[in-house]
Amino acid sequence: MTELSAAEPAAPDFAEIGRKLFAAECEFIWGASKPDALPPVGPPEIAFAGRSNVGKSSLLNALTNRKTLARTSHTPGRTQQLNFFALGPSVEESKLRLVDMPGYGFASASKAKISSWNSLMNDFLRGRAPLARVFVLIDGRHGLKPVDYEMFDTLDRAAMSYQIVLTKKDEVKVSERAKRIEDTVIELRKRVAAFPEVIFTSSETGEGVPELREAVALLLHQRGA
């Protein structure tokens, strides 16, 4: 009689790993308004982008279980820069950096400011080795807009992996939610750098937030972090 083989190890619980990851301390560490002012490379980074009023600050606060984390981005002089946050037991032991990108589609900004921001964004997306993925936030009430497609074009040209996160789920009728996801996925199939899965979130109710944390934990695992 042969002995029974040892049981296969259980698959990692990325939902729990993600929960613990984002339960750690999160601290603002750096702001950069030009390419040569980016912080030294360190742990893996994930960035959050979206047009103005998409609910990015609210989602970052919900993701990290805080109320005022993203307030730093709204202080005078910081609205057009990349804001870096260290997530971990301490800044020195951080496991992940969150990068808050300013809202795109600056209708009221000057051409000079738009040009400066585009230069910073392009350099960051093309040459930032630790940057694992950009999560592009889309207002779930309205779906994709022309300015979002421009952002997708930029990410595709930079060959930067990105994933769509729909926001404000609580403000979208239940009967319309599946269609909003389906329409978004159809558009992503045309995109070379887009991750094919969409996460629908609500900062008010917390819906989708655990799934987003899980997605980040899985991403870090795949990168060997």
pLDDT digits (tens, 9 = 90+) for 58-90: 999 999 998 877 654 444 444 578 999 999 988
Examine residue 215 and state whether it is found in any structural domain, yes or no: yes
Question: Number of folded domains in the chain?
Answer: 1
What confidence score (pLDDT) does residue 71 get?
58
pLDDT for position 120: 86
Helix, strand, coil share of the chain (percent; to 5): 40, 20, 40
Torsion of CA 40, 41, 45, 49, to 10 degrees: 50
In a domain, 143, yes or no: yes
Q: Is 156 within the bounds of a domain?
A: yes
Tell me the CATH number at 107.
3.40.50.300
Does residue 172 belong to any structural domain of this protein? Answer: yes
HSE-up of residue 99 (Cα within 13 Å, Cβ side): 27
Residue 122 falls inside a structural domain: yes
Task: Give the per-residue pLDDT at 8.
Answer: 67
pLDDT tens string 17-66: 999 999 999 999 999 988 889 999 999 999 999 988 899 999 999 999 98
Does 58 reside within a domain? yes
65 occurs within a structural domain:
yes
Six token digits for residue 86: 């260290």
Q: Is residue 139 part of a domain?
A: yes
Give the predicted TM-score (pTM) of the model: 0.90
Coil/strand/helix, residue 182? helix
- What range defines the domain where residue 116 resides? 32-222
Q: What is the pLDDT of residue 206?
A: 96
pLDDT at 187 over 80: yes
